[in-house]
Structures are given as structure tokens and as C-alpha cells.
Homo-oligomer: A and B are copies of this chain.
Amino acid sequence: MADLFTVLTPREAWSRLEPHLHPIDRVETVPTSESLGRVLAEDTSAPVDLPHFARSSMDGYAVRAEDTHGATEGLPAYLKVAGEVSMGQPAGVRLSPGEAALIHTGGMLPEGADAVVMVENTRGVDAAMIEAVRPVAKGENVIRVGEDMARGEALLSRGSLLRPQDIGSLLSLGITRVPVFHRVRVALIPTGDELVPPETDPGPGQIRNTNAFALAALAAKAGAVPVVLDIVRDSYESLQAAARQALETADIVVFSGGSSVSTRDMTSRVIDSLGKPGVLVHGVSLRPGKPTILAAVGRQPAFGLPGNPASSMVTFGIFVTPAIYRLSGCRRLPQSLAVKARLARNIPSAAGREDYVPVKLEEKGGDLLADPVFGKSNFLFAMVRGDGVARVPLDKGGMMAGEWVEVTLF
């Protein structure tokens, strides 16, 4: 329980947490066609040459390149049509000097041929004869054996987040099953005496438990499997019991709620009671989200997020989402999480604190503009009206219209 009441910068806070984030090592094998968004657990390389036969990259005529040398519109090369290469079959033709074979894009180059003349550069003379009006070089319009991928060549490395093109490339090499890391499981523990389930009408002083579900959706967006536990009342024993249950079933534990100082302290005492190293950070210089707890119990990270709905989402985005990617074995965060945009209006802030401000994004004159959504006390509804949250860096006492900001998409 180090430096419990020292507020750290977001970067310092992350650097205290980071050494405790270990990729989960549970691996399963799934069909490649169903591996979208999964993280590859092993380096892969090509088990075969691709293509495994020389293919035409054009519609045209397979030829011996030397037979076309010097061919022009005025002085074409006359070639005897020896046949046609059918798609999906061995090229059932063998070219002798002075011969050509009709071939389609992707067709197998017949024996004796070493290039393809595009159909646009040929003229039919009769059924048995064509003119080539341009020369081709050896290998022109031909994809050589192993030219796309040579057998043994490295394809995707361990830690790749699998995308559609990765799936296509694996399948093209006959890799129909892939080893991937298990999805990261995130337990969300809603805490607070004032909470009721969303389907219950809250009485005086009560509110609906919504944070845990919004955070579960954020976890799902990051590729994790969220589990929302039952609401836990503000008592040390029940919080500790819920935390123990969560640590048994999940990789990451998130306490959501507990806005008041006494509840936050209880969360932090409970985390410390569960194992080393315990609480690493208690308080971060950001707004919203100052009363954030970062912790680890053994190899399992644990987070105590503020009870305010928007604060909990912002701090989840700053700390829990990158932690999920780290545990998932993913080598780097996907590019789609943030964009750069120009501020449409000034944003006030205070130096020494990172501020997160909901913004609407709009394309204007080729630039992406970020227009702050001000107004209501409840930042959650500003996030509903906005597209993302702009970051005002720690060292800025505010930002001016026209400055570039980083916008995390929510």
C-alpha cells in the first residue's frame, strides 16, 4: 500500500501498473475463418509456396517471350494457337516454338511458355493464328511459384490481432486452424448501497446500476469477455467475498462505484487484503477520474473506478482498455481507438492535470474538427451526444481553437 494519498500523473500511474501486466498464456485452437479479432499465439510461416504453380496475372496468350521480340503494330509476331488453358486444371497444352495458348487471369502457365501477352496487345488472324503487336519479356504477366509467399517465409507473428486480410492470407496457405490466446475475462463488481438493478424502479436515494453494463460493453469492444457480478453493498466483508469470487473466475477485476471517500478507502483496504502487491496507485491527476485505484493481486490487475458514470468510462478507457490489450497478448493497440482533430473552440483546463472533454467530430474542409460538448452536469449524456473524448495534456492550462487534439473514440 504505497503512497496511498499521492496523486500521480496518468503516465506515472500507468508505469506503476505496467510491470504487473502479464499476457495470459492460455491458448486454444480455433478455425481460422472464425478468428477475427483474436490474438495469434504463435509465429506463423508459409507451409507451402504460393502460388504453387506459375499463374497468369492477365487475360491473354501464354507465349515464349523470345517469339515476341521485336513485335510491333506494323510488324507483329505471328503465333499459332495451340489451345486454351482451362481454369482449375493442369495446363493441358505444351508450347513449341512459334506457338501461343489462350489463358485467363489466374490460369496455369503451360509447359514451354515463360510469359503472357495481354489480350489487348494481340489481334486474331483466324481461329488458329494470332498476331502479337508488342514484345513481352521473360516472366512478364506471370506470377512465379512462391512469388507471393515462399515456403518457410514468415507470415504473421505471435501477438498479431487477426484482421480480415490476415484470415485471407492464412487460408490461402491452407492454414485452416490457428492457435490464439484465450479472450481476457473481465469481472465487473458494481458496489454501492444506493444501487438497484436497472429493471427495478429506484426508491428515494436509490439509483440504477448502469456503470457495470457500460463498462462491460467497453470491455467487449476491447475483445474481452465481460462478466457483470451482482451488486455488492458497502461492507468490507461482502466486498471482499465478491472480490475473491471475481479473482477466481476472471483475469481482471474492476470495482465500479464507491464515490465517497470512505467507500474508496474500503475498496483499497479490501484489495490490499487479497494479496501482494495490492494497491499501486490511489489517485490520478486527471479530470474526470481523479479517485482511481490501480492495483494488482498476484498476476491479476484490479481497478477501483469512480462511481460517476462518465468518470468510470474515461478511466476505463485510459487504464483498463490498454491493460486488456496487454493481457490479451496483443503486441500493440489498434489504430482505430484514437484520431487527431482540430479543436473547434477553446477548452479551459488547469496545468498539472489531464482533462478529458467530450467532443463531437465533424469533417470540415478536409479537416476533422472536434467541437466540445459542454453544458450538463452529467458528462455521460455529453458522451452520448459526442463521438469521443479529447485529451488536454497535463502541461496545458487549456487549449485554443485550431490546436490539434487527440480524441479517443467512445
Stretch touching chain B among A16-24, A74-82, A372-380: A372-380
Q: Which residues does chain B contribute within 8 Å of A172, judged by CB atoms?
A: 198, 207-208, 210, 309, 380
Contact of A335 among B106, B205, B409 (CB under 8 A): B409
Q: Which residues does chain B contribute within 8 Å of A163, judged by CB atoms?
A: 217, 410
Within the complex, what minimum Cβ distance (angstroms) separates A317 from chain B? 9
Cβ–Cβ contact A51 & B105, under 8 A: no
The answer to whether A9 has its CB under 8 Å from any CB of chain B is: no
Q: Which residues does chain B contribute within 8 Å of A336, judged by CB atoms?
A: 336-337, 339, 409
The answer to whether A214 has its CB under 8 Å from any CB of chain B is: yes
Contact residues, A156-170 vs B (CB, 8 A):
156, 163-169
Within the complex, what minimum Cβ distance (angstroms) separates A225 from chain B? 13
Question: Looking across the interface, which residue of chain B has its beta carbon closest to that of A103?
Answer: B260
Q: Which residues does chain B contribute within 8 Å of A217, judged by CB atoms?
A: 33, 36, 163-164, 167-168
Bound-state Cα–Cα, A383 to B169, Å = 9
Contact of A148 among B86, B171, B263, B377 (CB under 8 A): B377
> If A148-B376, A171-B198 touch, does A155 touch B89 (CB 8 Å cutoff)?
no
> If A53-B204, A388-B335 touch, does A88 touch B167 (CB 8 Å cutoff)?
no
> If A171-B208, A172-B309, A201-B174 touch, does A221 touch B36 (CB 8 Å cutoff)?
yes
Q: Which residues does chain B contribute within 8 Å of A36, judged by CB atoms?
A: 217, 220-221
Contact residues, A198-242 vs B (CB, 8 A):
198-199, 201-211, 213-218, 220-221, 228, 234
Contact of A380 among B168, B202, B262, B361 (CB under 8 A): B168
> If A176-B198, A204-B89 touch, does A213 touch B168 (CB 8 Å cutoff)?
yes
The answer to whether A300 has its CB under 8 Å from any CB of chain B is: no
Q: How large is the interface on A (under 10, 10 to 19, 20 to 34, 35 or more residues)?
A: 35 or more
The answer to whether A104 has its CB under 8 Å from any CB of chain B is: yes
Contact of A176 among B33, B119, B199, B383 (CB under 8 A): B199
Cβ–Cβ contact A87 & B193, under 8 A: yes
Q: Which residues does chain B contribute within 8 Å of A168, judged by CB atoms?
A: 210-211, 213-214, 217, 309, 313, 380
> If A214-B165, A221-B164 touch, does A307 touch B106 (CB 8 Å cutoff)?
yes
Bound-state Cα–Cα, A217 to B35, Å = 9
Contact of A106 among B91, B204, B207, B383 (CB under 8 A): B207
Cβ–Cβ contact B313 & A164, under 8 A: yes
Cβ–Cβ contact B205 & A89, under 8 A: yes
Q: Which residues does chain B contribute within 8 Å of A384, judged by CB atoms?
A: 155-156, 165-166, 169
The answer to whether A149 has its CB under 8 Å from any CB of chain B is: yes
Contact residues, A268-309 vs B (CB, 8 A):
307, 309
Within the complex, what minimum Cβ distance (angstroms) separates A247 from chain B? 23
Show 17 residue pairs from A and B whose CB-CB distance is below 8 angstroms, ordered by the A residue: A33-B198, A33-B216, A51-B207, A104-B263, A105-B260, A105-B307, A106-B259, A106-B307, A148-B381, A149-B378, A164-B214, A164-B215, A164-B313, A165-B214, A168-B217, A169-B384, A335-B387
- A residues near B (Cβ < 8 Å) are 32-33, 36, 50-53, 57, 59, 85-91, 104-108, 119, 143, 147-149, 155-156, 163-169, 171-172, 174, 176, 192-195, 198-199, 201-211, 213-218, 220-221, 228, 234, 259-263, 307, 309-310, 313, 334-337, 339-340, 361, 366, 368, 376-378, 380-381, 383-384, 387-388, 404, 409-410
Starting from the known contacts A88-B192, A105-B307, A169-B380, 10 additional A-B residue pairs (CB-CB under 8 Å) come to: A33-B216, A50-B378, A106-B260, A108-B205, A147-B377, A163-B217, A165-B214, A165-B384, A168-B380, A171-B208
